[in-house]
A and B are shown apart, each in its own frame.
Chain A
């Protein structure tokens, strides 16, 4: 019985829980019914996940029995009522495609890691690269620096955009980068200049990541850092610089796009893939799994 289904995607990140509820018709994509984003902020992550899910359900006017599939992504252990789990890379690729149907690449910029993804027109991952374990270049690092500088997170992008580039910080190691920032502060550089330096450093690393993954064409920015206009400006600036530079003939054009729902890309992708998977399960007669969501506590 293929057709319309209501599904949820819950993206359990390291700093926030994102929920998307979608109504999908297999083969035709889906429409978002409601979303929710809740920062964890040292709260019990299970409680935050349930609260975010409840908030989205209330906004969409649906209850648990209405869901055909509840898909988790990110940390699988957090959601004990999911029908199934999809890996972050897959869900970000699918979410990126939903936000920009022309996208053939995604750049997931999360709190702890960044990941460049190359995908096809279905959202199937063709290749990817991710940053190594060092926290430099991650959202958590940027958040820490903003706190040290006394800058509200929402002002970081605008301050950076107003500043002129002075110097970059280390893009290899968070400890070295923090040392660089301390030096910058002691030399009297403004918060905007420091943030610009950090953004340029992170952007350089991310553009190299995109290139090494072989991404080309439209690339959707996803994850929490996709809301940072300062970082987006730096990424665009570096891509444009590359394409105007001596290697321009060897480089494929890249168009970087951000969406107001970029932070929700993983959750959106999970919800849409859940609908697709639900349809597959029905076609294969795996009714027990297909009914999994309805059994949720």
Chain B
């Protein structure tokens, strides 16, 4: 029997692989005068951009299909890969369809990239979005609301629609629908990982980075309906939570390699921005929707390395997520030189050890092409968990030129 979901995933994969943003160009052609605004990981409030009549476009770098020539000359060797490939994309004209870029606060590197972008592309709109690290609504909330209004105002100055409450409420409602559909997709993956692979869920989410929320919801519903029709049967794999890939994304084949090593990734932080807010954004009666957007981030923003968390709570969210999705262990997959992820990792590992949850870790770059060592490590981890239980310490893979 042919796979009813295959053609939909093919379509989604084509969108993901197209770093020349063909879908964005098509959207702009269909919406003359509207802006397309790129944004870097981790989190940018997409409904705000949509409410100005613009298309938010998530930019995740060049992945493994782009040769970096000019990008390398802008960064030292100890800097991660995503800013290099983003510069390469920009200088190569692949991001010309974007009228502007928002650089949310992730780390110093992305902040610096924002500054470089201003100099490299003076004609484009460039904004640095300083996400609050104080979650008191009268302090961080007030600051964040003013930041959101500033960006909306600046976009309007570039030709976008002036932000109004009704438009933002509409955009929030569409985002909520997308969020609910994403949760349904996650629920399928958690309940029946053999029905929806992590690689497929990844593509389903990532395809939404170049389309409005409403269109993405339609695509996700199509996928949901198709995967339910699949003839699938249980496969005895270990259930893992993958963390550390919230900014630079691992190559698709790396995720596939983990699956082939016997790991069902039932929870992850890939493309975290798409799921940054836990649950729907719910404006209270009479509340300014910009404040509702801000409040959602303050109160229900997901724990991540780019968000301040009190020292005593570091790792608590991860442990809770492992329990919630009945995972057997955790894989830390951080991009090489990703300071936020790698600085957090020892604290998260300590929390897992206190909770008796097995874990393993490796690093990658978005253009990593060889997965043998990672496959060895994931396979050893999967078997250790499956056969010897949490007490079975994972065996570190080591490659020797002997």
What 1/0 mask marks residues of chain B from 82 to 102 whose CB sits below 8 Å from any chain A CB?
000000000000000000000
Q: Is the CB of B383 within 8 A of A292?
A: no
State the Cβ distance, A20 to closest chain B Cβ, in Å.
18
- In the complex, whether B2 has a CB less than 8 A from a CB of chain A is no
Q: A212-B402, A273-B387, A277-B386 are in contact. Are A89 and B235 (CB under 8 A)?
A: no
Residues of A within 8 A of B (CB): 69, 75-77, 82-90, 124-133, 172, 205, 208-209, 212, 273, 276-277, 280-281, 288-289, 292, 295-296
Total of A-B residue pairs, C-beta within 8 Å: 98
Q: Report if B208 contacts A (CB, 8 A).
A: no
Residue from B234, B379, B398, B401 in contact with A292 in the complex, judged by beta carbons closer than 8 Å? B234
Known: A88-B379, A133-B370, A292-B233. A277 touches B387 (CB 8 A): yes
Within the complex, the shortest CB–CB distance from B278 to chain A, in Å, comes to 29
The 7 A-B pairs with the shortest beta carbon distances in the complex, nearest first, are A87-B379, A84-B236, A90-B383, A208-B402, A132-B401, A295-B233, A129-B400
**Cβ of A86 and Cβ of B402 under 8 Å apart?**
no
Known A76-B262, A129-B400, A130-B376: A83·B235 in contact at CB below 8 Å: yes
Q: CB < 8 Å: which of B233, B260, B383 contacts A86?
A: B383
Q: Using a CB–CB distance below 8 Å, which chain B residues touch chain A? A: 233-237, 260-262, 370, 372, 376, 379-380, 382-384, 386-388, 392, 395, 397-402
CA distance A125 to B386 in the complex (A): 13
B262, A87: Cβ atoms under 8 Å? yes
Also in contact, A292 and B235, with CB within 8 A (given A90-B380, A212-B400, A277-B386): yes
Q: In the bound complex, how far is the Cα of B260 from the Cα of A130, in angstroms?
A: 19
Q: Chain B residues near A212: list those with CB within 8 A.
A: 400, 402
A75 partner residues in chain B, CB cutoff 8 A: 260
Q: Is the CB of B236 within 8 A of A281?
A: yes
Find chain A residues with CB under 8 A from B372 CB.
133
User: What's the Cα separation between A69 and B234 when bound, in Å?
Assistant: 12
Closest partner residue, chain B, to A122 (CB atom): B388
Interchain residue pairs with CB less than 8 A apart (23): A69-B236, A84-B262, A89-B380, A89-B383, A90-B380, A90-B387, A124-B387, A125-B383, A125-B395, A127-B395, A128-B376, A128-B397, A130-B398, A130-B400, A132-B400, A132-B402, A172-B401, A209-B402, A276-B387, A292-B233, A292-B236, A295-B234, A296-B233
Determine the distance from Cα of A88 to Cα of B261 in the docked complex, in whole angstroms.
10
Bound form: Cα–Cα A209–B395 in Å: 17
Q: In the complex, are the beta carbons of B261 and A87 less than 8 A apart?
A: yes
Point out the residue from B233, B380, B388 that lies within 8 Å of A87, measured CB to CB. Answer: B380
A12 to B142, CA, bound (A): 60
Q: How far is the CA of A9 from the CA of B398 in the complex (A)?
A: 26
Instruction: Supply 19 further A-B pairs (C-beta < 8 A) apart from A124-B384, A125-B395, A277-B236.
Output: A84-B235, A84-B237, A85-B235, A85-B237, A85-B262, A87-B382, A88-B379, A89-B376, A89-B379, A89-B383, A124-B392, A126-B395, A127-B395, A128-B380, A130-B399, A172-B401, A209-B402, A212-B402, A289-B235
